[in-house]
Amino acid sequence: MENDYFKQDWRRGEKIQILQYISMKWMMCFFIGLLVGLVGFCNNLAVENIAGMKFVVTSNMMLAGRYTMAFLVFASSNFGLTLFAGLITAFIAPEAAGSGIPEVKAYLNGVDAPAIFSLRTLFVKIVGSISAVSGSLVIGKAGPMVHTGACIAALMGEGGSKKYGLTWKWLKYFKNDRDRRDLVTCGSAAGMAAAFRAPVGGLLFALEEMASWWRSTLLWRAFFTTAVVAIVLRALIDVCLSGKCGLFGKGGLIMFDVTSANIAYRIWDVPPVLLLAVIGGIWGSLYNLLQDRVLQIYNGINIRGAAYKIVLALTVSIFTSCLLFGLPWLAPCRPCPSDTSEPCPTIGRNGNYKKFQCPPGHYNDLASLFFNTNDDAIKNLFSKNTDDEFHLLSMLIFFITCFCLSIFSYGIVAPAGLFVPVIVTGAAYGRLIGMMFGSQSTLNHGLFAVLGSASLLGGSMRMTVSLCVIILELTNDLLLLPLMMLVLLISKTVADAFNGNIYDLIMRLKGFPYLERHAEPYLRQLSVSDVVTGPLQLFNGIEKVGNIIHVLKNTEHNGFPVVDEPPLSAAPILFGLVLRTHLLTLLKKKAFLQNLVPAGYNAFNQFSADDFAKGLDHGDRVENIQLTDEELDMFIDLHPFCNTSPFTVVETMSLAKALILFREVGLRHLLVIPKVSGRVPVVGILTRHDFMPEHVLSLYPSLAKSKWKRLRFKLPGGVKIF
Amino acid sequence: MENDYFKQDWRRGEKIQILQYISMKWMMCFFIGLLVGLVGFCNNLAVENIAGMKFVVTSNMMLAGRYTMAFLVFASSNFGLTLFAGLITAFIAPEAAGSGIPEVKAYLNGVDAPAIFSLRTLFVKIVGSISAVSGSLVIGKAGPMVHTGACIAALMGEGGSKKYGLTWKWLKYFKNDRDRRDLVTCGSAAGMAAAFRAPVGGLLFALEEMASWWRSTLLWRAFFTTAVVAIVLRALIDVCLSGKCGLFGKGGLIMFDVTSANIAYRIWDVPPVLLLAVIGGIWGSLYNLLQDRVLQIYNGINIRGAAYKIVLALTVSIFTSCLLFGLPWLAPCRPCPSDTSEPCPTIGRNGNYKKFQCPPGHYNDLASLFFNTNDDAIKNLFSKNTDDEFHLLSMLIFFITCFCLSIFSYGIVAPAGLFVPVIVTGAAYGRLIGMMFGSQSTLNHGLFAVLGSASLLGGSMRMTVSLCVIILELTNDLLLLPLMMLVLLISKTVADAFNGNIYDLIMRLKGFPYLERHAEPYLRQLSVSDVVTGPLQLFNGIEKVGNIIHVLKNTEHNGFPVVDEPPLSAAPILFGLVLRTHLLTLLKKKAFLQNLVPAGYNAFNQFSADDFAKGLDHGDRVENIQLTDEELDMFIDLHPFCNTSPFTVVETMSLAKALILFREVGLRHLLVIPKVSGRVPVVGILTRHDFMPEHVLSLYPSLAKSKWKRLRFKLPGGVKIF
């Protein structure tokens, strides 16, 4: 936003201030990386220790034959952890429920959802995520980490939380949306980097999926942030190598290492992989479809109140505990292989061969998957030289259970990510394909599991480069790269034929007016004047206070064109655009004039730039401003506070073209001027909502059936799911 | 571009055509990937075989003690190869000289340099690059591969080369700039991917360095293209495993594999790495500075004619041959280590221990570096367990020689990349640092060499993510990632304090009006009306043919505002914008009217959309159009051929803000409208040149000294280099 006032402010800046501003931004990125790295590490540490302790205790009971007791301890600890996560989420910060990625993505597109970046949300997101993941729910921690990172960045950009008085004056450098958005982008990159220890993957995730605008400076800043995260994680893991981190173990920087010196796949390995990719894409889109329906049902339940929310969460928890503990009993005990390098059955917590109820020298293959944290299950599924460890039927049971549980677990009142469930489900799916079609293949089943995860991720999240690099950084297997790229592309293409990206579906359910980059073809057939609706609210250059109050109370617009009319000018001219927030500030400060005379530049002395800085919380409301009748009859000179050169388009421009301008430049208001001058100098104002397909189609329903809609397979009209 | 005519055309399209269009685009990407992969592989194969043969022959002569003869063969084959590359470049396609990356980057920014994407250029680029690289010049093949990829993509997008009649009608689908630019972006990604067998790195290179606009659809398309490249390379390398590729060898997909199962660096390894990064940044910026100066001198020589160009190239070749053959004589022969896993001295071509002039059982460490292809030198420098192979002095000689040769080799009349020279110089530098400061380090000297390459690349090219991923894919060492990121960030930051990116320097030397994303601060102080210069050329809605001819002959503008004046309308209104190319088409087709009456929509019947499709070669010139005097008195109805809703800005808008619109939306013309209507409806037209710092500063020289210039260390006024 550019008005006379800010221009004045900017010109006052000295070289030293610019230097200070730039180094501040880099400093912020450094601290974001540091904090997110720390949080990510602690999160991991806490989950491994809480969940690990639970499994150690129950496993010991199982060894002693006290199976009922083991189940009770297992189920009740899951119940307690879920209850805790649900309680804090429902009562302290309902915004922290779910993944958080859709909210952050919408914010970066310009949609401000309330309270998503508050200190409360941050706290609940971190603690709730640890507690819910430790409670053996089939949910991930990557989404919450992204939200946590974004939250830390937003709070730092704001200089702390205003509400709790935790503000630092010197941090209030970042007054504009762009700086805040940059920091939040870096924060979300850092979050993903910390969740998967994948610095480049996290950066690319922020670039491909999250950010709506991108500049190379931002790329470098995000790279710096994720580099800091990588170094912090590397250093902390080094500390853990000395064994001081409890059950965290001595893992390296790579979470699921599948390196093998020489993967020599040949041309005949490709057909099963292609099959895997195609079916994976179908599974992925089915996953999105079902998730969407389940979320609609859950929303219907959750809306009735906190008690309902918590009961729903607890139901899911009990159900999950029963399945996780119950299903392994179906699997027969299998004798330990003689040639394994690992102890069998597993002693302690980690390891591929869980004893569960089996006699010595035997292991239960389903228990190795179910009776474990999700991370360990993935590790087992990805591991090499384990082609004979799992039975086909066990794998099938595990796949179906994971698929259903992950769909039913998202949407409960707790921080819950989607990445890890999809990875674990995909890994099981990949092993299944490997078992069925890969007997001739030179690829081992662990690699099939990796490709299966890739295909399901591609089918559900619809990313390419970032998923590719994330999986690469998770598994450290560069030689698999050509196959991985192939799988991601195919599964994404197949899934795109059916429905959208899971995050976009969730955003639509939440009702965020997300502005797509791609213009729907029917927008080409409309001109901007076709969608400009309602009476336009204008202000005069010098406007009566009472009028402003009236308009602000009766409309919800955030921007108003300011027009100079005779006698102030010869003909009516469009002077500029004034924002609601600036009007409110002027009203609060009572910068009024007695009569219709321009105020001149001494008006500036009353204000400092901070008065117009936009906070993340919109505390000011016009109802709170008390004015006397006398004041209502006075005037305000709006000229110095206008953006005098707003972006304009001519009324005949096609909507698609105006959308490009709106989207690429990142506008909030776009003024529509008449083709033929002489009439009023402005005929309308376009905002984000005017470009929404819902809005356009409600005005022109006939377009919905036009041939221009996006090409996509639909379920036949009669078929309904749920 | 949007005019009535195209709208008409688009509406005629059926669903099936859209599907066809989309699948065509993907098909194109597939073929681009396929062709670039093939070319990249053949390029590699040819270089390895030609250069390899040369080294085998000379080595055999050396073994037989015929040193003079060996030198003569070595020098004369280099001379011949360079002469051939120089001849074809100078006489067939001078545009193919140099790296090509600056040209492609400028094209993607909207600057059309002539003939950079012709079939001649493509041919010379491929053959010349093979020949020059085989001629042992210290130049790379990555830059030429990027240009080759872009060239293939552009030619495919155009449907073949018009000039040679090699056009396919059905390929002429891509009529607009955006589609062509997308294909060229994919092509350059594919080129980089093929050069380094780094699909993700190539993609990120195109994203970070080349492209000026980016959409997620483009990201996926580029990902698809590089995936095809990866698969093609993988398949072809598989073919070579059977040993049918001559001297190409049996390398895998990873060029310089440095994997080690466990890199356990500790906190005390970090200080030498930091030192390496800082000094690497300084070297990198020095490299850019010297390269810039040398290029200026070379340009002065090259401009005198083809003979001068070729003599210059041959001088460099002879000089290089002398150094490569002569310098190893300085190194003392060293006894072979007893514990090496490789044969020593090397038998055949590859290997770390070159015998050169040494007695049996000894090797010459400098010859292992100099008397080898650049790729093999890098392989030797990156290899592990060779900490004692090289002497400090040898490494110092190699580093200085490479640094100087790479600077003096770029700019001669041959296709020449910058990546490989910088990597080899950086590797030598890294080993030097490792030898001097790394004696306590747990990192081996091979890893120091990798980090050294990263630091010099970062200091010279100023990329981050893409270099990081390229090096990762070259070396397959994920555990080094945190250190790598640190090194890249530091060296880039250090180097940015001194000067710009090497490609930007070359672009400036070439005089391309590259539009930066970042607005120089002083642009905020100017409004658009401050830079609009010269008399504005307007057309009436129905304009006299003679007038159009006159204006086209006397100006070089490419776009003209069309204004309707009384009696066509009540008041003067801005109807739209018409392009020079469209006017030329209309003139050629003689779509003239006898009198001042609008033509109506039957005007369309005369034209098909192909007539207005933009070709890459601007063959049409106004001078070639022959009209009778009678025709000159006739009229043209411009209305149907105008873009009726051009983007406009108000004259008071700041130049920085207008630049954002211009740059983000990717405009070529931006109309400036008056603040107060009633006067002429348009006051000026802004093009790319109006935003160039040179143009603005020539109008307002005082701004050059203003405090707003970019912060950068400068050499003191008195110090001059060369």
Cis peptide before A345 (omega within 30 of 0): yes
Reduced to 3 states (helix: H, G, I; strand: E, B; else coil), residue B219 is helix
Confidence of residue B720 (pLDDT cuts 50, 70, 90): very low
- What pLDDT digit, counting tens, does each position of A679-721 carry? 678 888 888 888 888 888 888 887 766 544 455 555 544 444 4
Residue B6 has pLDDT above 70, yes or no: no
Amino acid at B428: A
Which range has highest mean pLDDT (A246-260, B312-326, B663-677)?
A: B312-326
pLDDT of res. B299:
92
**Average pLDDT score over residue span A218-222:** 90
Handedness of CA B452, B456, B462, B463 (dihedral sign): negative
* Tokens describing residue B706: 């203003």
Residue B333 has pLDDT above 50, yes or no: yes
pLDDT of res. A610:
55
- What pLDDT digit, counting tens, does each position of A22-36 carry? 888 888 899 999 999
Q: Provide CB contacts within 8 A for B576, sequence distance 6+.
A: B3, B561, B562, B639, B642, B643, B644, B645, B646
Taking CA–CA distances from A233, the nearest residue in chain B reads: B482
Contacts of A236 in chain B (CB under 8 A): none
Confidence of residue B652 (pLDDT cuts 50, 70, 90): confident
CB atoms within 10 A of CB B376: 22
* Inter-chain CB proximity A573 and B676 less than 8 Å: yes
**Average pLDDT score over residue span B215-241:** 88
pLDDT of res. B615:
46
* Inter-chain CB proximity B208 and A219 less than 8 Å: yes
H/E element holding A49?
helix A15-63
List Cα–Cα distances, B377 to A292, B193, B245, B255, in angstroms: 56, 21, 21, 12
Cis peptide before A646 (omega within 30 of 0): no
Residue A227 has pLDDT above 90, yes or no: yes
Strands A670-673 and A648-650: parallel
pLDDT of res. B1:
42
Looking up tokens 């049409």, which residue turns up? B620
Looking up tokens 């055309």, which residue turns up? B9
* Inter-chain CB proximity A235 and B678 less than 8 Å: no
Domains (range + CATH), chain B: 13-242 (1.10.3080.10), 269-510 (1.10.3080.10), 522-705 (3.10.580.10)
- What pLDDT digit, counting tens, does each position of B356-390 carry? 888 888 888 888 888 888 888 898 888 877 777 88
Contacts of B487 in chain A (CB under 8 A): none
B86-121 per-residue burial string, b: 16 or more CB within 10 A, e: under 16: bbbbbeebbbbbbbbbbbbbbbbbbbebebbbbbbb
Q: Provide CB contacts within 8 A for A699, sequence distance 6+.
A: A530, A531, A533
* Inter-chain CB proximity A677 and B681 less than 8 Å: yes
* Inter-chain CB proximity A254 and B517 less than 8 Å: no
Contacts of A227 in chain B (CB under 8 A): 482, 485-486, 489
Contacts of B647 in chain A (CB under 8 A): 649, 661
Taking CA–CA distances from A211, the nearest residue in chain B reads: B216
Q: Of the candidates B203, B216, B707, which has its C-beta nearest A15's C-beta?
A: B707
Handedness of CA B540, B541, B543, B547 (dihedral sign): positive
Q: What is the DSSP code string of A152-219?
A: HHHHHHHTS-TTTT---GGGTT--SHHHHHHHHHHHHHHHHHHHHT-HHHHHHHIIIII-SS--HHHH
Are B323 and B397 spatial neighbours (Cβ–Cβ below 8 Å)?
no
Distance CA B533, CA B550 (A): 20
Confidence of residue A215 (pLDDT cuts 50, 70, 90): confident
Count helices and strands in chain B by DSSP H and E runs:
27, 12
H-type alpha helices, B173-215: 177-196, 199-205
Percent of chain A with pLDDT over 90: 35
pLDDT of res. A717:
45
Q: Provide CB contacts within 8 A for A163, sequence distance 6+.
A: A118, A119, A617
* Inter-chain CB proximity B203 and A465 less than 8 Å: yes
Residue B174 has pLDDT above 60, yes or no: no
Smallest CA–CA distance, residue A484 to chain B, in Å, is 9
Contacts of A517 in chain B (CB under 8 A): 215-216
As to burial, measured by CB atoms within 10 angstroms (0-12 exposed, 13-18 middle, 19+ buried), residue B166 is exposed
Residue A601 has pLDDT above 60, yes or no: no
* Inter-chain CB proximity B200 and A469 less than 8 Å: yes
Are A424 and A380 spatial neighbours (Cβ–Cβ below 8 Å)?
no
**Average pLDDT score over residue span B645-662:** 86
Least confident of A561-570, B222-231, B396-405, B648-657: A561-570
pLDDT of res. B31:
93
Residue B669 has pLDDT above 80, yes or no: yes
Q: Of the candidates A216, A465, A525, which has its C-beta nearest B200's C-beta?
A: A465
| Averaged pLDDT of chain B | 83
Contacts of A488 in chain B (CB under 8 A): 223
Amino acid at B486: L
With residues binned 3-state (H G I as helix, E B as strand, rest as coil), the percentages for chain A, rounded to 5, are: 60, 5, 35
pLDDT of res. A615:
46
Amino acid at A555: T
Least confident of A93-107, A303-317, B691-705: B691-705
**Average pLDDT score over residue span A354-368:** 83
A493 vs B175, which has greater pLDDT?
A: A493
* Inter-chain CB proximity B200 and A652 less than 8 Å: no
**Average pLDDT score over residue span A433-437:** 89
Amino acid at A26: W
pLDDT of res. B707:
45
Q: Of the candidates B217, B479, B681, which has its C-beta nearest A253's C-beta?
A: B479
B616 vs B671, which has greater pLDDT?
A: B671
Q: Provide CB contacts within 8 A for A455, sequence distance 6+.
A: A276, A277, A279, A280, A281, A283, A284, A426, A429, A430, A487, A488, A490, A491
pLDDT of res. A582:
82
Smallest CA–CA distance, residue B390 to chain A, in Å, is 28
**Average pLDDT score over residue span B230-239:** 87
Q: pTM of the predicted model, to two decimals?
A: 0.90
pLDDT of res. B586:
80
* Tokens describing residue A116: 């998503």
Handedness of CA A165, A171, A174, A177 (dihedral sign): negative
List Cα–Cα distances, A165 to A117, A162, B632, in angstroms: 15, 5, 77
pLDDT of res. B261:
54
Residue A166 has pLDDT above 60, yes or no: no
- What pLDDT digit, counting tens, does each position of B582-599 carry? 888 888 777 777 766 665
Distance CA B409, CA B397 (A): 18
pLDDT of res. A340:
67
| Averaged pLDDT of chain A | 83
- The residue of A4, A267, A645 whose CB has the most chain B CBs within 10 angstroms, and thus the best one to mutate to test that interface, is A645
* Tokens describing residue A704: 């919905």
* Inter-chain CB proximity B226 and A485 less than 8 Å: yes
Distance CA B477, CA B235 (A): 23
Classify residue B170 by its DSSP letter: G
* Tokens describing residue B216: 């997620």
Least confident of A599-603, A674-678, B114-118, B484-488: A599-603
A6 vs B268, which has greater pLDDT?
A: B268
Q: Rounded to an integer, what is the distance from CA B119 to the centroid of its chain?
A: 17
pLDDT of res. A709:
47
Reduced to 3 states (helix: H, G, I; strand: E, B; else coil), residue B625 is coil
* Inter-chain CB proximity B481 and A230 less than 8 Å: yes
- What pLDDT digit, counting tens, does each position of A135-148 carry? 999 999 899 999 99
A360 vs B679, which has greater pLDDT?
A: A360
pLDDT of res. B485:
93
Confidence of residue A619 (pLDDT cuts 50, 70, 90): low
Q: What angle do CA A372, A374, A378 make, to 5 degrees?
A: 100
